[in-house]
Amino acid sequence: MMQKIAIGADHAGFNLKERLKKWLEKNGHTIRDFGTFSEDSADYPDFAHPVAEAVQDKTFDLGLLVCGSGNGVAMTANKHEGVRAALCWNEDLASLARQHNDANVLCLAARFIDPGEAEQILDRFLNSSFEGGRHARRVGKITC
């Protein structure tokens, strides 16, 4: 299923974001790149907030955020109501984040994930779906 995906990264995630952007486009997804657009030092919240807002307001189906550890972008995105950003470092976590947690933003650690593995993680994230059921009750309890 082709989806609309908001993407963003800081300087540490720039190269991986660019690779994943090409992968997404090659696979027919519509994307909007919220930056950064170079390897120059940049603050991850400047890119995580716009991506999270695009998912929060449902302008985009899903989000993809990349920084050095993945933690900064995940923490930032999760400040937005209705955003469930998941830091995933393997395919199984990506599946479970979608299936059990209804994650709508994938966060990746550029300094710790091989680019080929990142493509596989992204593919699994995009091709997994929320199972609902008992998981829906739990997801419903996330918002404060």
Question: Which residues are the active-site residues?
Answer: 67, 100
Rounded (10°) CA dihedral 39, 45, 50, 56 = 140
7 burial type by CB count under 10 A (0-12 exposed, 13-18 middle, 19+ buried): buried
Positive or negative, the CA dihedral 10, 13, 14, 17 is: negative
